[in-house]
Structure 1
Amino acid sequence: MTQSVVVQVGQCGNQIGCCFWDLALREHAAVNQKGIYDEAISSFFRNVDTRVVGDGGSISKGKICSLKARAVLIDMEEGVVNEILQGPLRDVFDTKQLITDISGSGNNWAVGHRVFGSLYQDQILEKLRKSAEHCDCLQCFFIIHSMGGGTGSGLGTFLLKMLEDEFPEVYRFVTSIYPSVEYHLYPLFLIASLLMFFPRKSLFDIISKIDLMVNSGKLGTTVKPKSLVTSSSGALKTRHKKPFDAMNNIVANLLLNLTSSARFEGSLNMDLNEISMNLVPFPQLHYLVSSLTPLYTLTDVNIPPRRLDQMFSDAFSKDHQLLRADPKHSLYLACALMVRGNVQISDVRRNIERLKPSLQFVSWNQEGWKTSLCSIPPVGHSHSLLALANNTCVKPTFMELKERFMRLYTKKAHLHHYLQVEGMEESCFTEAVSSLSALIQEYNQLDATKNMPVQDLPRLSIAM
């Protein structure tokens, strides 16, 4: 059985990560009601009390007697980590696997990367190695962070480089939340195995739609008063609802579905390494567009079952994308469908054949589908679907990101805050712009091959 380690960096990364662990525990508790420590639980949790291997520590109702999350928590401002340690999940995290400071990175990428990266490099490496030693077969690091601050962005990219150097054979799955305007265009994301990025504005739009449905009564009584959709009740000890709680919950649910095959049995399970192998034909083009249906896959929301075919249609509709894009009007390099619940492979194949005419794949990968069937559905649902697509529809997002960056950079706005940090040079910014421009050009090359006969296809630079 393979194991994975979750590395939570910065305020956003730790909040999303904590939500993921809360939902994962609820899910395992619903499936493994006897609380026996088994292979499913061992994929993301380790047992620290060998006396209960046979009987198992009770995991019912989220109470853990002997489980520790395979996680490393990092934040240069200790507030959120302290909240976690005072909350319901405080016993789930190993206090020896936490790294905090009190000053914070001041929303400065350079401080997080140059200052704290160097200062905490040895400590971070020690925690990572310790986590790896607790795994029988380490398969993947999940890095959760935001590019909107100093620690998550700066120290997060420093961490990525460290993982590539120290664990080159282990996959690196990055979940990144992007802000509206930033200088953070660091090219180190080229060394991730796979990256799922979520502009905060896209998540906000989805939550606004959910709120509208809740307030209009369209969901009826299906949303409970303390649902994670509408409140911050859950893993964190908080007094007031925070506007980003529901957004964090959507990302956590995506991770829950992404890791379902690693945690539970299924008739057609998909290894985490298969996702990268099948969806990333070129190392640089590892940015995935994700959609989740139903969007309300929460343990405390009861949604009437939808028709199975409708679920597949929703996964390819613009409204269900977690990125503001419409993949149907762009070019697919590959697509993975991760289905949970009582769904047959014949249902999946039938829906793929039904949808294929409306989707355009690159000529050299017309059958670029990867499917997964996990028999355990999300709690409270009959089935769910996570679609991951490598699609050129991400290009406009990168173009918009570059445009916003250049508006700041041409005016040298706020640049002195970065350049005053020792070791930070202006060439870092020009290299970042160059890397982003090259990435956009790669997608332009692919888009240019639409409707082009195979014999006329140019040789792509990304394939060299």
Structure 2
Amino acid sequence: MTQSVVVQVGQCGNQIGCRFWELALQEYAHFNKKRLYDDATGAFFHNVDLTSRNKGVYCSNNGVVQLLKARAVLLDMEERVISQMMKGSLRDVFDHTQVLTGMSGAGNNWAVGYMMYGLNYKDKIVEQLRKAAEQCDCLQSFFLIHSTGGGTGSGLGTRVLSLLKDEFPEVCRIVTPVFPSVNDDVVVSPYNTALALRELTENADCVLPVENQSLEDILNMQRSSRAGRRRPTMNRLIGSEYSLDARNEIVANMLLNLTSAARFDGSLNMDLNEIAMNLVPFPQMHYLVPSLSPLYTLADVGAPSKRMNQLFNNAFSRSHQLIKADPKHSLYLACSLVARGNVQVSDLRRNIDRLKPSLHFVSWNPEGWKTSLCSVPPVGHSQSLLVLANNTAVKSTFMELREQFIKLYRNKAHLHHYLQVDGMEQSLFSEAVTSLDSLIEEYHCLDVEARKLIPDAPRIKIAK
């Protein structure tokens, strides 16, 4: 039995993580009627002996009453979000030994999160990571969840990633970063994201980026599709609070599908390590485009199920992607399918053959498909499909980020806020954009070589 540890950093990372644990417990409770602690439960939870008065209790096979504890580390330099979690429905799932909080936050400054807090809290963070690892019989992977637009998520989040690489170099590091939208209210988010992206490129094994703008577009699409219907849940679609909860729900469900093979049985389960092994042909090109069907949110449980053909059509459409890209008109390096529910291998093969003519794969990997079948469907649905595509389409996201970064850096806007932090040097900005240029060039060269595309215009050079 293998186990994984989830590391949640910053407000965004902890809110998504909170929803992930809530939904994971719901799945276990729904499909494990006898509440026995088994291999599926042990993948992301360990158990401790307690009385049965707690709501989240499972009983082991020998009759000893035990309480599930999440295999998680919770970090934030503001205590509000984690404090709310510790008082809510998950209060028995975490304890103070898994939590590290500060008081002042990182002020939307990557340097404060990476340099200041990363240095001041390094020993405590490493201690918590080691404790979480020691509770695993066979540690398979770390999941890191954070945002890149603010200071704690981008700075401390990528510092933790660096520590994971140093302390556990043989353990797979899978990262879900949430990228800000173009109109993000944090004016320096392009700085934070570019600085964080360099660390993600150097230190992660596999990155599943999510864009806030894509999540908002998904919610707008769902609002429009429900506009003519009268449903009791419609009042929950109004207001920013629902929008935030629903976005977190989408990302959490993506992670539930990704980890389903580790948590439940299946006829063709995929080891989490196989994601990086099969989908990442070149070390730095480890950014995967995630898409999910159905795109269920808080209002969707119990919605009519879709046929497998429709699930495939949706999962390979831009409207169901968690990042704004165009894989169908770009080049696939590899593609993974994670299906849940009553799905047959023949269903997957038939739909792969049906879609193949419209998808462009690199010449040296024309059969670059990795499939996984988990027999347990999501709660409230009969089937689901997660697609992870290693595709050159992510280049457009990086090019847009580079353009936003250059607009700020050309005028040295807000630079002094970063340079006043001990250890932060202006050369790190140059290195960040150089890393970004190199990543864009790698994807671009594959496009040019494999599809004989016309080269892009000369790259923008960073202002001196």
TM-score w.r.t. the length of structure 2 is 0.90
Where does residue 355 of structure 2 map in the other structure? 355
1:137 aligns with 2:149: no
Counterpart code for 1:172: R
- Report the equivalent of 1:236: none
Partner of 2:60: 53
User: Tell me, what secondary structure is at the counterpart of 1:243?
Assistant: helix
Structure 2 Cα separation of the partners of residues 134 and 50 of structure 1: 17
Contact 1:112 1:154 survives alignment (8 Å): yes
**Identity fraction in percent:** 61
Alpha carbons of structure 1 residues 226 and 127: separation in structure 2 relative to 1, 3 Å: farther
205, 209, 214: which one pairs with 1:193? 205
Work out whether residues 231 and 245 of structure 1, in 8 Å CA contact, stay in contact via their aligned partners in 2.
no
- Please state how far the C-alpha of 1:57 moved relative to its aligned partner: 8.0
Corresponding residue SS for 1:435: helix
- Decide whether the 8 Å contact of 1:3 with 1:140 is kept in 2: yes
The answer to whether the 8 A contact 2:246-2:298 is kept is no
> SS of the residue aligned with 1:246?
helix
Is residue 133–residue 139 contact of structure 2 (8 Å, CA) maintained in 1?
Answer: yes
SS at match of 1:270: coil
Please report how far the alpha carbon of residue 53 of structure 1 lies from its aligned counterpart in structure 2 after TM superposition. Answer: 2.3
Q: Which residue of 212, 233, 241 maps to 2:224?
A: 212
- Secondary structure (helix, strand or coil) at the match of 1:139 reads strand
Q: Is the 1:340–1:378 contact (alpha carbons within 8 Å) kept by the matching residues of 2?
A: yes
User: 3-state SS of the aligned residue for 2:226?
Assistant: helix
Quick one: which amino acid aligns to residue 188 of structure 1? E
Q: Answer with 183-192 or 281-290: which moved more.
A: 183-192
Partner of 1:458: none
Structure 2 segments unaligned to the other structure (5+ residues): 52-58, 183-188, 453-464
C-alpha separation in 2, matches of 1:41 and 1:93: 16
Q: Which amino acid aligns with 1:183?
A: Y
CA distance in 1, matches of 2:235, 2:276: 37
Matched, 1:447 2:447: yes
Residue by residue over 1:236-260, the C-alpha shift from the partner in whole angstroms, topping out at 9 and shown as x without a partner, is: xxxx935311111100000000000
Query: RMSD of aligned C-alpha atoms?
Result: 1.8
Q: Give a deviation string over 1:10-52, Cα, whole Å, max 9, x none.
A: 0000000000000000011100011111110000000011894
Partner Cα separation in structure 2 for residue 319 and residue 342 of structure 1: 24
Contact 1:26 1:299 in 2 (8 A): no
* 2:3/2:140 contact within 8 Å kept: yes
**Do 1:297 and 1:384's aligned partners in 2 also have CA atoms closer than 8 Å?**
no
TM-score (norm. length: structure 1):
0.90
What are the residue-to-residue correspondences of 1:2-81 with 2, within 5 Å? 2-49=2-49, 52-54=59-61, 66-81=67-82
Work out the CA distance in 2 between the residues paired with 1:299 and 1:134: 36
Aligned partner of 2:309 in structure 1 is: 309
Structure 2 residue 129 is matched with structure 1 residue 128 = yes
Give runs of ≥4 in structure 1 deviating > 3 Å.
55-58, 223-227, 297-300
**1:319 deviation in Å?**
1.2
Q: Cα gap change, 1:50/1:89 in structure 2, threshold over 3 Å: closer, same or farther?
A: closer
**Which of 202, 227, 235 is matched with 2:214 structurally?**
202
Which residue in 1 is equivalent to 2:115? 114
Q: In the alignment, residue 274 of structure 2 is paired with which amino acid?
A: E
Q: What count of residue pairs does the alignment treat as equivalent? A: 434
Structure-1 separation of matches of 2:110 and 2:3: 31
Residue 216 of structure 1: how far off its partner (Å): 2.7
Question: 1:368/1:317 Cα in 2 relative to 1: closer, same or farther (>3 Å)?
Answer: same
The one-letter amino acid of 2:262's match is A
1:182 aligns with 2:190: yes
The CA deviation at 1:188 is 1.1
Q: Is the 8 A contact 1:19 1:248 kept in 2?
A: yes
Q: Is the 8 A contact 2:233 2:299 kept in 1?
A: no
Deviation at 1:419, TM superposition (A): 0.3
Shift of 1:300: 6.2
Matched, 1:371 2:371: yes
* Alpha-carbon separation, structure 2, partners of 1:241 and 1:422: 37
Listed as ranges, the gaps of 5+ residues in structure 1 are: 59-64, 233-239, 453-464
Helix, strand or coil at the partner of 1:102:
coil
